[in-house]
């Protein structure tokens, strides 16, 4: 009996030791996760955008503030000519802007598309959240809204965009986004119209005839120290697009997505294809199930490839513990994807690279 009692008492002592050790282990795991926060991750090697967003967080700004200022920096810098004014003129020679911003706490989204004569598209998108019950404003009406919110009208055309447009006209408007029209859009400029007798043909050279740098949207995900998530995008869209075209960037779930219970994601690439698959939303849902961010990114790229084997695109993903990853679709001339990461685990905003799949 004494032995049995001693054995039972020893069991209680071992339990008393095990429980504190378990608590310590959980605390250490939590500390390890928290060490990776806050986090800023953005598409492409847009370093100044990453630095700006990180600085906003360090100065006590919110996750939405960081996204707005970070993407806004790219609008100022005209990142790669694919963000902000003076880039990607459409068929009429005009530069128009698309942007969105999303609050992962409230699931509110503000977005603008086909914005004209206003430079700070991401700023206008945020005002859609703050001062309207809408989600997306487009075209001339979006510009009028921006002016009411205090944004000035400014010319988005530059000498460079005029030069790009002139060169395109001199190349018989090649490449362009028309198909199955007359005159033959692969050989001459428009105006185009539907042929009287419709004949449809697949366009196999679309990717090879368009530069990969036609779609370098900035997409950004910011996760705060307590796990709150925000995301956003800004772009001037596809170069030589048909006027009125809107891609994936200002569409919630396509261009980016944020949910503070799971994580955030943002996409870049051929928006006309990628928006059909809502890759940012899908990636966040994968992470919600516990999928590693890198694997989540790879899964959404692979899903698109099943339908469009040769497409240009990439996705960045981050979960609420500070883990992150990226993936891209491999093409000749595009075998790696560069993106920026800022976190307490890094000495400074750091450019990282992933091999495409």
3-class SS at 138? strand
Q: Determine whether the annotation assigns residue 269 to a binding site.
A: yes
CB 38 within 8 A of CB 225: yes
Q: What is the DSSP letter of 151?
A: P
* CA–CA distance, 349 with 347 (Å, rounded to integer): 7
* CA–CA distance, 219 with 98 (Å, rounded to integer): 12
H-helix or E-strand containing 41? strand 39-43
Q: Determine whether the annotation assigns residue 11 to a binding site.
A: no
Burial label for 323, CB within 10 Å (0-12, 13-18, 19+), is: middle
Q: Determine whether the annotation assigns residue 270 to a binding site.
A: yes
Catalytic residue check, 291: no
Q: Determine whether the annotation assigns residue 209 to a binding site.
A: no
Q: Determine whether the annotation assigns residue 322 to a binding site.
A: no
Burial label for 176, CB within 10 Å (0-12, 13-18, 19+), is: buried
Of 217, 291, 320, 321, which one is the catalytic site residue? 217
* CA–CA distance, 43 with 217 (Å, rounded to integer): 8
Q: Determine whether the annotation assigns residue 355 to a binding site.
A: no
* CA–CA distance, 24 with 63 (Å, rounded to integer): 30
Pairing of strands 313-319, 324-328: antiparallel
H-helix or E-strand containing 146? helix 139-148
Q: Determine whether the annotation assigns residue 227 to a binding site.
A: no
Q: Determine whether the annotation assigns residue 190 to a binding site.
A: no
Binding-site members for substrate are 245-248, 268-271
Residues labelled catalytic: 217
Binding-site members are 245-248, 268-271
């Amino acid at each position: 009996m004494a032995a049995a009692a001693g054995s039972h008492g020893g069991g209680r002592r071992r339990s008393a030791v095990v429980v504190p050790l378990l608590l310590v282990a959980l605390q250490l795991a939590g500390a390890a996760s928290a060490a990776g926060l806050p986090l800023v991750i953005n598409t492409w090697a847009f370093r100044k955008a990453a630095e700006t967003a990180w600085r906003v967080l360090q100065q006590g700004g919110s996750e939405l503030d960081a996204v707005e200022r970070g993407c806004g920096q790219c609008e100022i810098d005209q990142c790669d000519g694919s963000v902000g004014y003076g880039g990607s003129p459409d068929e009429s020679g005009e530069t128009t802007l698309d942007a969105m911003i999303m609050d992962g706490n409230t699931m509110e989204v503000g977005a603008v598309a086909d914005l004209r004569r206003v430079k700070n598209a991401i700023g206008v998108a945020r005002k859609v959240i703050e001062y309207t019950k809408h989600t997306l404003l487009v075209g001339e009406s979006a510009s009028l809204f921006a002016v009411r919110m205090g944004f000035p009208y400014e010319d988005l055309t530059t000498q460079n965009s005029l030069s790009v447009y002139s060169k395109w006209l001199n190349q018989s408007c090649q490449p362009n986004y028309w198909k199955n029209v007359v005159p033959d859009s692969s050989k001459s400029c428009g105006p185009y119209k539907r042929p009287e007798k419709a004949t449809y043909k697949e366009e196999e050279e679309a990717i090879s005839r368009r530069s990969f740098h036609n779609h370098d949207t900035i997409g950004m995900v910011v996760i705060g120290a307590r796990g709150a998530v925000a995301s956003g995008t800004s772009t001037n869209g596809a170069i030589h697009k048909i006027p009125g075209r809107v891609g994936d960037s200002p569409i919630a779930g396509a261009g980016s997505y944020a949910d503070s219970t799971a994580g955030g994601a943002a996409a870049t690439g051929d928006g006309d294809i990628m928006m059909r698959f809502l890759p940012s939303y899908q990636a966040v849902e994968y992470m919600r199930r516990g999928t590693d961010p890198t694997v989540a990114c790879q899964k959404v790229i692979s899903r698109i490839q099943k339908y469009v084997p040769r497409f240009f695109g990439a996705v960045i993903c981050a979960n609420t513990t500070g883990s992150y990853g990226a993936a891209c679709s491999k093409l000749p001339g595009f075998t790696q994807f560069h993106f920026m990461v800022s976190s307490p685990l890094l000495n400074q905003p750091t450019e990282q690279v992933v091999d495409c799949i």
